[in-house]
Structures are given as structure tokens and as C-alpha cells.
Amino acid sequence: MITRASEENGWDMSLVTIAKIWRSGCIIHSRFLDQMSAAYAKGSNVNLLVVLDFVTLMKDAHPSLRKVVAAAAVGEFPMICLSATLSYFESYRQA
């Protein structure tokens, strides 16, 4: 979405730069930001779900994500972002 907004508005935003800024100046302090920055440096408009580091991560993590979303649904807790994330992930796994 950032890439699309940048293109539509002529902002010329670099995903590599954004990931680096988030890494050093945001409450999101995660090792994943370094991996994101590296992935975007290789291909500026790449979807992270097709980058090897993130494919490996999701192979390991998606069962836990599925359990959390399922438990939240059974407990009637709204999990809007996590549910949408799981659905988006599932859309990439479909033929």
C-alpha cells in the first residue's frame, strides 16, 4: 500500500529507507525490519510473503497464528488485524 500511495501521489518513497527509519526511530524494534530492508533493497516492490526469510518464518509461525485466531473466535474476542493477516496469508497459499 505504501508503494501504491507513493506512486499515485508522486512521493518517490523508498521501502528500503522506510524500513531503516522504522528500525531506528520507531517503537517497532524488531529483527524483521532488517530482513525487510534487505528484501526491499533487492527488489523495491517485492511482496514479503515470497521472500525466502519470510517464507521460512511463516512456515513455522502460521500454525500458531491460526490457533490464536481460532481461540479468539471461540472466545468471541475481536482480532481484526490478525484475522485479516491470516486471510491474506491464506490467499497466497491457494492455487
Q: What are 62-75's pLDDT values in tens digits? A: 999 999 999 999 99
Entry pTM: 0.60
Mean pLDDT of the chain: 82
Residue 29 CA to residue 78 CA, distance in Å, equals: 25
What is the count of structural domains for the chain? 2
Which among 46, 67, 82 is the end of a domain?
A: 46
Residues 30 and 57 in one domain: no
Residues 6 and 40 in one domain: yes
Q: Locate 4 and state its grid cell.
A: 501504491
Structural domain including 26 reads 2-46
Name the residue among 44, 68, 42 with its Cα closest to residue 53: 42
Residues 60 and 86 in one domain: yes
Name the residue among 21, 23, 18 with its Cα closest to residue 1: 18
Residues 40 and 69 in one domain: no
| pLDDT recorded at residue 95 | 77
